[in-house]
Structure 1
Amino acid sequence: MAVAVRVLLVIAVVVVVVLALFWAFQRRLIYLPDTAPVPAAARVLPGAEDVRLHTTDGLELGGWFVRPPGEAPATVLVANGNGGSRTGRAPLAAKLAEAGLAVLLFDYRGYGGNPGDPSEDGLALDVRAAHRFLVEDRRVPPGRIIFYGESLGCAVVTGLARDHPPAGLVLRSPFVDLASVGAELYPYLPVRLLLRDRFPVRDDVARLRVPTVVVLGDRDSVVPPGQSREVAAAASARLVELPGADHNDPVLVEGPQVVDAVTALIPGATG
């Protein structure tokens, strides 16, 4: 009996330690930034401009503003996923600029050489700084801004859209909420009880009245395609499914279907 009690105590201690470690280090599992400073914009995207964004809690964030050859009918605010930096989104920005759109790429706090540590509240402040830059500094009418969210960025732009409705919303590989993805990755942990950051995409889009397109790959190994379909249903969105595409495949990162999803939301566009 004493041995059995000791075994149970050891198991209990191990469980408590594992849960405590998950609680303490969970944001290191959620946010996977490339922390190195990024190159100058023009070295990556010819004609692009380095810009600085200022958050209401005192951080200065780096961004790239990309102009098309002619006058842009709309500007795309791109909210990145949880990994890398804005350099990885340069191919998308180049394709959107080729399609005649202006584009703002930026990095969240803690990414791309920016100060600070990422969190749900922090990313909300960061994307608001990006929106404020477009509206106040570049004088882009709010009704001419399209929000583009990639994976975790879907949560970031849907949160922004609650307060600042855009011309349209493109959600690439959205999840229902962060806990739903976490439960897939860590099925033996009580993820919903432990998560600090929630990112409730489905609940947010259900309250919006914004033209929305959801793009997903039906072989996505990071965000289950069923979750993206659930978000599309909640948003009454047009759904674009790319057969055979995984989460970071080029066709989902910069493919023509992704560009078409954005251009279809240009105010006045048809088709």
Structure 2
Amino acid sequence: MLRILVITLLALAGAFLLVRLLEAQMVFFPSKYPSGFWSLQSGNDLKITDVWFTAGDGVKLHGWFAPHPQPVASLLMCHGNAGNVSDRFDWLDMLHQRAPVNLFIFDYRGYGRSEGRPTEEGCYRDAAAAFDWLAAQNLNVPIIVHGHSLGSAVAVDLVHRLPNRAAGVILESAFTNATDMARLMFGPIPVHWMSSMKWAADEKIAAVTIPKLFIHGEYDSIIPIRLGKKLFEAAAPPKEFVALSQADHNDTFVAGGEGYYRALRNFMEKIALIR
């Protein structure tokens, strides 16, 4: 009996250590420069400028800034867990054509041309530094934070820790927390008990009082729409949920069609009127 107990405890300890060692590799899938589409920095009047800034702990970060000639807002974009900013070029290009907004997208530490290694807290710090850079440009339009997929948790943390500095937040293909995602991915295996990562957007969003727009594809094969709706239910008003009937996880800006861009424009223009 004692032998079985010892073996069980050793197995649990081994599993715990394994999860802690590998959790970053299970969450973060960065592409480092020059991997990606870095030559595509202009198209359809989209002009991208390289931006360098520093996180609060000294990590050097990189982003892309694309101004609009007649913006109603500036959009700070927190991307998902894979690739780098250059993989979002088509999205930036299409958004620039269809919405009157300045675009600022940055790479978390360890992604693209940013230095360091990605961590949960590091992503939060990087987003705060990106917000500070954008605010310092004094563009005289409201700042709206956008988060896609993993970036939705980063966006929620940002507007939670910087209350009322952003004018609104857009959460696309969002999820609730790391526990719900671990259960989705690993079923009955209790990975969430062993992981240090929380990504607890659902615990923070109730305290966020700025306007919120949720966008989710009904055919999302990575983060099911029920998790997006669960986060929406946890959110305080004002809030709006837009379900895109033909969209999956990474194609909302294409499969969502004009309904996707109309939702973004309407949200931005409402905020511009309020501010």
Instruction: Tell me if TM exceeds 0.5.
Output: yes
In the other structure, the counterpart of 1:109 is: 109
Between the aligned residues of both structures, percent identity stands at 26
TM-score, normalised relative to structure 1: 0.87
Structure-to-structure mapping, 1:66-145, within 5 angstroms: 66-68=66-68, 70-98=69-97, 99-136=99-136, 138-141=137-140, 144-145=142-143
Deviations 1:4-57 (A, max 9, x none): 997887676555433321121111101111123362673578421111121111
- In the alignment, the residues of structure 1 paired with residue 206 and residue 49 of structure 2 have an alpha-carbon distance, to the nearest angstrom, of 36
- Alignment-mate amino acid for residue 92 of structure 2: A
- In the alignment, the residues of structure 1 paired with residue 4 and residue 267 of structure 2 have an alpha-carbon distance, to the nearest angstrom, of 60
> Are 2:22 and 1:30 equivalent residues in the alignment?
no
- Alignment-mate amino acid for residue 219 of structure 1: Y
Which deviates more, 171-180 or 246-255?
A: 246-255
Structure-to-structure mapping, 1:248-267, within 5 angstroms: 248-251=250-253, 255-266=257-268, 267=271
- Alignment-mate amino acid for residue 34 of structure 1: S
Report the count of equivalent residues.
264
In the other structure, the counterpart of 2:228 is: 228
Deviations 1:191-227 (A, max 9, x none): 3321212111122111111111111112212112111
Which deviates more, 184-193 or 109-118?
A: 184-193
- In the alignment, the residues of structure 2 paired with residue 248 and residue 194 of structure 1 have an alpha-carbon distance, to the nearest angstrom, of 29
- Alignment-mate amino acid for residue 19 of structure 1: F
- In the alignment, the residues of structure 1 paired with residue 125 and residue 211 of structure 2 have an alpha-carbon distance, to the nearest angstrom, of 24
Q: 1:253 to 1:29 in 2, by over 3 A?
A: farther
Asked if the contact 1:41–1:48 (Cα under 8 Å) also holds between the matched residues in 2, the reply is: no
Q: Secondary structure at the match of 1:265?
A: helix
Give the drift of 1:173: 1.0
In the other structure, the counterpart of 1:180 is: 180
Deviations 1:118-160 (A, max 9, x none): 1111011100111111111x1135x701111001111111111
In the other structure, the counterpart of 1:240 is: 242
- Alignment-mate amino acid for residue 91 of structure 2: L
Asked if the contact 2:171–2:213 (Cα under 8 Å) also holds between the matched residues in 1, the reply is: yes
- In the alignment, the residues of structure 1 paired with residue 189 and residue 21 of structure 2 have an alpha-carbon distance, to the nearest angstrom, of 14
Which deviates more, 187-196 or 247-256?
A: 247-256
- In the alignment, the residues of structure 1 paired with residue 43 and residue 116 of structure 2 have an alpha-carbon distance, to the nearest angstrom, of 25
> Which stretches in structure 1 are left out of the alignment for 5+ residues?
none
Which deviates more, 14-23 or 164-173?
A: 14-23
Asked if the contact 1:214–1:232 (Cα under 8 Å) also holds between the matched residues in 2, the reply is: yes
- Alignment-mate amino acid for residue 115 of structure 1: E
